[in-house]
Chains A and B, each alone.
Chain A
């Protein structure tokens, strides 16, 4: 059901192709990491899937997303932008309740069932104590989890994350990614995320797609995609890539040029 199919998805932006004929199929429950240098088309891919920008081709989650209403799409796909707009003077509970918007009637308001679901999400993410706090009073890591909670309250089988950890320190990066990994297993959610940190991308995702200038340069496991050679070519960077022979984990370390 929650297989995400991309069929020749192209995004034009100011006369330039930000994404050129992206075709892929993401399995149910898979975590796909989208990597690539700045401007490679990662955000365009996610924004197209979220229905925020026009594209050609087709994206389907069971049904083609182009043929359904925004409300129906929101029940299938939840999206967390790179820099979510956080209203400082809104309580965490009210914010997470906004995730129920696709299920609330046009003139309606959240019902007991919506409140139940939101309470469940807050409990699962260990956020109950923040429910009545204002978002402006929360730390970056706490806000990140609240935003994730809002996306989960949407109960969509597909979760799109644009650089979910870029604003966090290394500890909060890890805990955020651990949380996503755990939720994916317990909830069976399909995750597609753009990631900057290649080592973290390698550690947490099932599969990587590397984009450059809007095109796929490589797709496969971390060990297949992240070669020193390819990274040097695509990112214009000098790195050492180490693959642990036992568990296959990949570590990307930048190398300085001088002595």
Chain B
């Protein structure tokens, strides 16, 4: 219970800090006051003008919430992937969702550019999402076709093949369209800048459905820890449960990646940090990963918008820059039992 409280406090604190800090807008300490002022039955003058409030509410808030959704989703998906593959070095991009999203975005930004100028929606996230899901689907099909049984190992190997293949196509397309390299590269590095409430609303249903399904399989993930064979003799349909978990994690990952780009390291490092702090049981690990992942990405986004303002430091750079040393510190403090 202590850890859930800590997780909740961490997320709320991160949201508050994220909403209060930015290169433009009101003084940081006025933002919590204004937020309190906006609560029902409360009314006082926080000294925040309507224009300043618009910066907080229309620019910062969606960015903060989107960061929370992306960070929470990637962390839960990462923990789930680590569970079903019993591999601590796995992240939610393992089976090709990141490479697929990258290819999808590249295609949309290159050959799709002329075709989609009249579209009412932005084709990049749509293409990223579709190709990400497609890539993981191909991994599953290939993994099953070769070995007959979709064991964890064959799936991971199929994923390696699909990622290489997808990346090869992406490189080929990019190399023939050098004018968009910068754009694609920026997309791949990941960003939360320019996030709108529409983006938040767009990914929210995917994140909610994915997280609910994964949470409902927390006990199954604990059963996976004794190995596929023993899980089967305990009456669990190993392949089916693995498929359900991978599908849920992939849909959520593809959805957030399609709007935020490929933010690395969160899905790998957050579940580990939580394991080291609060124990390895999945019943606690999933909800805590969601909370700490959300808070972590919201906080990691702050230096991104401040450091090189008005230019943006890609958030993927920040997550790795902050996450890697923290990870090493945790490993030093308490070695991971394998």
Contacts and interface: CB of A to CB of B under 8 A. Distances in A.
Interface of A: 50-52, 69-75, 77-79, 81, 84-90, 94-95, 98-99, 101-102, 104, 107-109, 134, 136, 154
The 7 closest A-B pairs by CB, nearest first: A74-B235, A102-B235, A71-B235, A85-B227, A88-B337, A101-B234, A79-B233
B229 A102 contact: no
Interface of B: 216, 219, 222-223, 225-227, 229-230, 232-237, 275, 279-281, 283, 337-338
A168 to B, nearest CB: 19
Nearest to A99: B234
B234 A89 contact: no
A98 B223 contact: yes
Contacts of A104: 219
A52 B230 CA distance: 9
Contacts of B280: 87, 89-90
A140 B265 CA distance: 37
19 contacts: A50-B232, A50-B233, A70-B237, A71-B235, A73-B235, A79-B233, A81-B229, A81-B230, A84-B227, A85-B225, A88-B337, A89-B337, A94-B222, A94-B281, A98-B223, A98-B226, A98-B234, A99-B234, A101-B236
Nearest to B233: A79
Contacts of B337: 88-89, 134, 136
B236 to A, nearest CB: 6
Given A88-B338, A89-B279, A101-B236, 11 more contacts: A50-B233, A52-B233, A70-B235, A71-B235, A74-B235, A81-B230, A84-B226, A85-B226, A87-B280, A94-B222, A134-B337
Contact of B234 (A102, A108, A136): A102
Contacts of B237: 70
Nearest to A107: B216
B216 A84 contact: no
Determine which residue in B222, B223, B230, B279 has the highest number of CB atoms from chain A within 10 A of its CB, and name it.
B230
A51 B233 contact: yes
A107 B280 CA distance: 20
A70 B236 contact: yes
B261 to A, nearest CB: 34
A73 B234 CA distance: 9
Contacts of B232: 50-52, 70
Contacts of A69: 235
A86 B132 CA distance: 35
Contacts of A52: 229, 232-233
B2 to A, nearest CB: 17
B35 to A, nearest CB: 37
